Structure 1
Amino acid sequence: MKLGSVDQWSPPPRRLAELAKRHIFIMVSLTVHAALIALCYYFGSYRIELTRQQQLVHAGAELSKQSSMEKRVLDMKQINDLLEQSGRASDTRQDQTNFTATSLPKAPTELLAEARQLSASIDEVEKRLKADELARIDGISKEQALKQLDVPPPAAAPAPAETATPEQLATEIELLEKRARASLAQRQQDLQRRMNGVAVQPPGSKSGSAYGSGDHENAVQSGANGEQAKDGQVSATPGRNEGELVERIAKFINRDLALPKDASQHYYQNGERIFNPGVGQIPAVDAATMHKGFGRMLGREGEFANRVYVNSWYLIGPFEGKHGSGLFSNYRYPPEDGVVLDAAYRGKENRVVKWRYLNADSYPLVPPDFAEDAVYYGYTELMLDREQLLTMWIGADDDAQIWLNDEQVWAGGNINKTSFWRDLYDTQNTYARDFNMTEGKRKVRFKKGRNKIFFKLANGPSRTFFSLVLTK
């Protein structure tokens, strides 16, 4: 073998460089095309991902609208049940509500059909109740009373739900629910008049309204012990639980206004402190008698404990929140209209946020995606073997609101937050060990079986957490 043959051999990088010099235009073209292909791939993937996110958010918005419609229909069902109960003197049954969060709400057409059916049922119950009242007042049979009641003209046949737009479906359901609420409010007033001993005027009399005071000669004076007719005979007696029923109706009508009395809305603004210093202290607990437990089940088949940290939640967030004192009046986001666990929404900094399950193995509960000036939501269900009063021990950094079975039971406001944070963060204590990072507590009634809890957490600057502990 000749050495010259070795000298003629060139390493691959050198050969490539020589080829590049000879075919520079081809190499430049290949490079440019490769860059274009990479850019197209990058922006194409980005555009596909952006489109996918937009579709998720749009689908989430539609699911939230359907969930809001479904909530109205469920309210109509509860109104129908309350009206039915108000016509039975000995009925002691508690309201039955659907306490399950829906992963997928019912179709709008199905909801409208159900709402129309409930509306017809409510009209029938309302007519029957008026006939009962008239029969008591005039001393006639119920059949005669029904004949005397004005028969409304036949309503126009509703448009087929299949041809209506989603907006039209939602509007009709909203109108039907408002009518149902008006019927319930009227029934509450009628029962209240009977309980308070207000004279009840029969329909068609010459003075007074159908259910107001007026001609006392023909009126029936009603009261807690029964209705005294003009001949001295006592007619039908109001149910012994009528007062309780009136309270339940009032509670249902005003549930969004039934905030706890210890909620405070006074805070400083314009550069001053936004939290009322207050005089409150973190409630003390007896660690010696404490049996701590985690989970969502109390009673039989549940873990034995007298102090239970609710550590299992579906969480979603962060959403954009307000700064400073604004965190007490933060924005309302779709989860407040209905919990749809399959939905996705546009969150803080334009991120897509979804519900995700968290079983916290440490105390207290800290949202995994931390952000300042942010809003978070949480949902869980608790199982109880019987109806009972439990004490909620509540703490939050910064502010929290809580709903139990669709009724708001806690609004933090600014309850002694300055002293709360000082005691919590600036002193040596055992609050975390004792499940007691608590700013206040409130006794509430839980139902037998499934109970749903929903919270809204607003965070301002720095750290955040939420704590919910239950005791008997």
Structure 2
Amino acid sequence: MKFGFVDVSQLLRRHMAALSKRHRFILVSLSVHAALISLCYYFGSYRIELARQQDLVRAGAELSRQSSTEKRVLDMKQIADLLEQSGRDHASSDTAGDQTSFSATSLPKTPAELLEQARQLSKSIAEVEQRLKADELARIEGIPKDQARKQLDATAPKQAPASAPAADAKPEQLAKEIEQLAARARAALVQRQQDLRRRVDGVAVQSPESTSGDAYGGGRHPDAVRKGTGGELPSDGPLSTTPGGNDSLAVERIGKFINRDLALPRHVSGWYRRSGERIFNPGGGEIPMVDAGALHKAVGRMLGRGGEFADRVYVNSWYLIGPFEGKHGRGLFANYRYPPEDGVVLDAAYAGKDSRVVKWRYFNADSYPLVPPDFAEDAVYYGYTELMLDREQDLTMWIGADDDAQVWLNDEQVWVGGNINKMSLWRALYDTQNTYARDFNMTEGKRRVRFKKGRNKLFFKLANGPLRMYFSLVLTK
């Protein structure tokens, strides 16, 4: 800009240069302070965000602990129901096994309320135990049940009433007592199963009155068995030992509950071997063939009335969480256990792989197969969903995964993935021309399972090693 014959912009530059020379240290100080303010703002925000994430992780851990505690209380409720059913004269179609421990919701009860519920259930279980012992004693000794109950009550140790939890009791202390009560209830159920199995097999049962602390006894009593080839016990009527009878049905139901967390029995599926190596655990080892021309395909989570008609349904809608830190190589198939396996709490957040915070997210896959977001190698992912069926029925689950998967249906494990590499499967999927993706058939094996009417809860664990990753679950009749 010029005003008259004077260049004003040049004068301003000269003036600023003179100021900078005269006040050089002031300008440097201002620059340094500005940089420090910026750094403080950045690191302050970072620390606030880090603290927020740590609070989320701590809250998630607490929710998981509470979910695990509630699971134990639900187990006690199922144990009480199973014990009650085992003493009925006729089989009941109402099974405790229809319940499930995956809550998938925030838990409304406090630890103190859960402890009170566990104590009440423990009292109910003890009452059922005493009644069943009286029934056994009456059967063995040939006396009325009322008399047997009086004899048992007279010799039963007196238990001091449980005191109310202290106001300052920590949740960990309350959870510990619940764990002890649940273990005691489980022991009672195991003892009941053993007693029923002996009855079904025609083996004598020791008089409950003469046992030393056992719920039902396990040895022979000299007067317990009538003379005869079958070893029958005195009773008010014939024992229900036929297949489907109440005793044998109770043994089956109790066994299913007790063994639900164990590895799948070998007889459910054959092993596939190559050069002496066990490839799948269990599984077919080769992709099952389908008649692509006859397929009626659909995606979703509803089968029957209210759902789309199809004979092959790809389950594509899940709540997903991950990645968590995972193993690789041969350790891949014995991967770490994380809180979602103790209970699904959709509001929880956890410390995931590489110190990131992971949360449950709803994911509706628009293509086949399901590829969880946030891909990572040597990682673990979990998925949860609910299936709605208009009636109880058997369906075939077609399952495939890159690399390893485990699947639970209504809290019962129905699939365990491979235990070494699956190179033959990868070659069939990735290195040959095929229509597996088009046919919803990137499957390593299948299993026939029973679904109940209404809501069914599905949960999977996916372990990924190197490179690609997917999970596939398809249902057929």
Same fold (TM over 0.5): yes
AA partner of residue 444 (structure 1): V
User: Contact 1:263–1:412 (CA<8 Å) still a contact in 2?
Assistant: no
Alignment match, 2:72: 72
Q: Percent identity?
A: 70
1:130 aligns with 2:133: yes
AA partner of residue 55 (structure 1): D
User: Contact 2:100–2:411 (CA<8 Å) still a contact in 1?
Assistant: no
**What is the deviation of 1:205?**
5.8
For residue 199 of structure 1, give the secondary structure of its aligned residue in structure 2: coil
TM-score under structure 2 normalisation? Answer: 0.89
**What is the deviation of 1:26?**
2.1
Tell which deviates more after alignment, 191-200 or 174-183.
191-200
User: Contact 1:381–1:453 (CA<8 Å) still a contact in 2?
Assistant: yes
For residue 70 of structure 2, give the secondary structure of its aligned residue in structure 1: helix
CA–CA distance in 2 between the matches of 1:222 and 1:102? 55
Alignment match, 2:341: 336
1:143 aligns with 2:150: no
Alignment match, 1:421: 426
Tell which deviates more after alignment, 215-224 or 105-114.
215-224
CA–CA distance in 1 between the matches of 2:161 and 2:432? 70
CA–CA distance in 1 between the matches of 2:48 and 2:86? 57
**What is the deviation of 1:137?**
2.3
**Could you list the per-position Cα deviations for residues 104-152 of structure 1 after superposition, in whole angstroms to 9, with x for gaps in the alignment?**
2232111111111111111111111111222222333222111100222
Superposition map of 1:29-428 within 5 A? 29-92=29-92, 93-95=94-96, 96-98=98-100, 101-105=103-107, 106-149=109-152, 150-160=155-165, 162-204=167-209, 211-219=217-225, 229=234, 235=237, 237-238=239-240, 240-259=245-264, 261=266, 262=269, 280-414=285-419, 417-428=422-433
**Could you list the per-position Cα deviations for residues 81-112 of structure 1 after superposition, in whole angstroms to 9, with x for gaps in the alignment?**
10111111213222231465333223211111
CA–CA distance in 2 between the matches of 1:189 and 1:73? 23
Relative distance call for 1:217 and 1:74 in structure 2 (3 A) is: closer
User: Contact 1:395–1:466 (CA<8 Å) still a contact in 2?
Assistant: yes
**Could you list the per-position Cα deviations for residues 243-270 of structure 1 after superposition, in whole angstroms to 9, with x for gaps in the alignment?**
12211101111111141534869999xx
User: Contact 1:279–1:419 (CA<8 Å) still a contact in 2?
Assistant: no
Unmatched segments (≥5 aa) in structure 1? none
Relative distance call for 1:263 and 1:252 in structure 2 (3 A) is: farther
**What is the deviation of 1:451?**
1.1
**Could you list the per-position Cα deviations for residues 401-445 of structure 1 after superposition, in whole angstroms to 9, with x for gaps in the alignment?**
111111111111248822211111011110000000000111111
**Could you list the per-position Cα deviations for residues 226-282 of structure 1 after superposition, in whole angstroms to 9, with x for gaps in the alignment?**
9553xxx863543723212211101111111141534869999xxxx9968x98321
User: Contact 1:200–1:220 (CA<8 Å) still a contact in 2?
Assistant: no
Tell which deviates more after alignment, 131-140 or 287-296.
131-140
Tell which deviates more after alignment, 349-358 or 445-454.
445-454
CA–CA distance in 1 between the matches of 2:390 and 2:14? 82
**What is the deviation of 1:334?**
1.0
CA–CA distance in 2 between the matches of 1:274 and 1:192? 34
Relative distance call for 1:438 and 1:346 in structure 2 (3 A) is: same
**What is the deviation of 1:297?**
1.1
Relative distance call for 1:432 and 1:113 in structure 2 (3 A) is: same
Unmatched segments (≥5 aa) in structure 2? none
**What is the deviation of 1:385?**
1.6
**Could you list the per-position Cα deviations for residues 47-93 of structure 1 after superposition, in whole angstroms to 9, with x for gaps in the alignment?**
10111111111111111111111111111110011011111121322
User: Contact 1:315–1:378 (CA<8 Å) still a contact in 2?
Assistant: yes
CA–CA distance in 2 between the matches of 1:35 and 1:90? 82
CA–CA distance in 2 between the matches of 1:142 and 1:161? 41
AA partner of residue 104 (structure 2): T
Relative distance call for 1:13 and 1:91 in structure 2 (3 A) is: farther
User: Contact 2:330–2:420 (CA<8 Å) still a contact in 1?
Assistant: no
CA–CA distance in 2 between the matches of 1:389 and 1:206? 44
TM-score under structure 1 normalisation? Answer: 0.90
For residue 396 of structure 1, give the secondary structure of its aligned residue in structure 2: strand
User: Contact 1:57–1:346 (CA<8 Å) still a contact in 2?
Assistant: yes
User: Contact 1:263–1:413 (CA<8 Å) still a contact in 2?
Assistant: no
